[in-house]
Amino acid sequence: MPALNVLFVLVLAAYFFGATLHLLGVVSGRRPLRRAGESLTVAGFALHTVDLVALLATEGGAALLLGEFYFSLLAWSLLLICLFLWWRLRLEMLGLLAAPLALFLFLSSQAVTAQRMPLPKALGGLFFGLHIGALFLAISLLAMACGAGLAYLYLERKIKTKEKLSGFSKALPALSTCDTVNRWAVAAGFPLYTIGLLSGFIWAKLTWNRIFSYDPKEIIAICVWLLFAFLFHQRLFIGWRGRKTAKLAIWISCLTLVSLLVINFFVPTHHSFARYIDGASNIPVRTQP
């Protein structure tokens, strides 16, 4: 079995068992299971990093044109943000969100390949990398804000109805902690999303000689930016917190998922993966295990 296939299986197994053990630990209240799940998730992230580096080393610059690479990179970015917040805020519950999402995205990465596009010339490569890197980090932060928002609304309802907290509910962090995750994600995510959007327009100008082409993906991206800008302003300058910011973060995150999964696969766009499923393009794809 080729080395890349072995890495794929190891990452998949680490994420799957990490998510499973973490969930079982939370539901049963057994800390050793949660610890084991956390350790496997971290091990999966380390192996995932090696897998991305190996893919770049094997495919060279062609890896930057593979849908496989982008979905895998998005999963990696999500875990990176999760592990940072996990370490900084001691939020073990983030594993319940990040590990399953990373597993889904990493597994999905093996089903798609992207259209072969011309590599940007001159400074195009710089803006291309900035575009992808900044957007993926921003999307990952939005996912964390969405998870924290869902936890906030769920826990708030439990408290208002005076229901007894047990099992999963008992393991949730305090409302103030969920709100802190939202604040951090919005404060860091909006500037990153703005950088990603602007660098994408610059890259489009250098590559296709036009900044905006009314592509569905670009229109959705502008809508997300406007909503994100509103949330950023209300959160940091007006002082919004709690339920309002939780709900808005969830809606924005859902819109980015629509952009990523619906627009890319089912709507005609030059960002589409729909015409390049299972090796339909001429770009080499890693052999499936």
pLDDT the model gives residue 31:
76
- Mean pLDDT, rounded, for 36-42: 83
The residue ranges of every structural domain in the chain are 1-111, 118-270
Q: Minimal CA–CA distance to 82: which of 141, 13, 18? A: 141
- Per-residue pLDDT at 63 exceeds 60: no
Q: If you average pLDDT over each of 96-105, 121-130, 140-149, 269-278, which comes out highest?
A: 140-149
Position 286 confidence tier, pLDDT thresholds 50, 70, 90: very low
Position 229 confidence tier, pLDDT thresholds 50, 70, 90: very high
pLDDT the model gives residue 117:
45
Q: Minimal CA–CA distance to 49: which of 10, 13, 85, 76? A: 76
Position 96 confidence tier, pLDDT thresholds 50, 70, 90: low
Q: Which of 58-62, 119-123, 125-129, 183-187 has the lowest mean pLDDT?
A: 119-123
- Per-residue pLDDT at 45 exceeds 60: yes
Q: Greater confidence, 185 or 107? A: 185
How confident is the prediction for the chain on average, in pLDDT?
75
- Per-residue pLDDT at 56 exceeds 60: yes
- pLDDT tens-place string over residues 232-254: 999 988 888 888 899 999 999 88
User: Please, what CATH class does the domain formed by 118-270 belong to?
Assistant: mainly alpha
Determine the straight-line distance between the first and last CA of the chain, rounded to whole angstroms: 8
- Per-residue pLDDT at 112 exceeds 70: no
Query: What is the percent of the chain where pLDDT is above 90?
Result: 9
pLDDT the model gives residue 260:
75
pLDDT the model gives residue 143:
84
